Amino acid sequence: MSLWIELYHVLVIAYDQQAINDERIGKVYDYAAWCLKQPQTGNKETDAPSGAAVSFIEDIPLNQRISDDLYRWVSAETFDGCENLFRYLLSDEEYQGFAAEFHRKKKEFGGASPL
């Protein structure tokens, strides 16, 4: 989980750069996709899917620049599967707005996403 806290900060820095660092952003999302596909260990210290979910996915809505760009990196299916994670830190109204905006942008984007 500590690694994902650091990787979230890497993502924030990538968005704060004068020219957004798409390569670095893509690598973070690629690693998240890999972690989420790993078997669960049952140990919170070594469980890659839980660490990525709780220490990364859950925090995405907290940063406007990251959440505004999420449609490029996350599939609609993954987004919908993460609803409980996104809702953890959002009110119902906030989640409804977040989800509606994501799905609107995703539909317009139409491109493939790594996660």
pLDDT band at 111 (very low <50, low <70, confident <90, very high): confident
Question: What average pLDDT does range 77-85 have in this prediction?
Answer: 95
- Own/partner long-range contacts of 98-103 (Cβ < 8 Å, ≥24 apart): 98/61, 98/67, 101/68, 102/67, 102/70, 102/71, 102/74, 103/76, 103/79
CB 57 within 8 Å of CB 28? no
Instruction: Please report whether residue 84 resides in a domain.
Output: yes
| pLDDT for res 84 | 95
Instruction: Please report whether residue 114 resides in a domain.
Output: no
Total domains in the chain come to 1
Full-model pTM: 0.88
Q: What is the pLDDT of residues 86-107, one digit of tens each?
A: 999 999 999 999 999 999 999 9
How many angstroms separate the CA atoms of 26 and 29, rounded? 5
| pLDDT for res 80 | 96
Instruction: Please report whether residue 115 resides in a domain.
Output: no
**pLDDT of 2 above 90:** no
| pLDDT for res 112 | 85
| pLDDT for res 60 | 95
**24 is in which domain, residue-wise?**
2-109
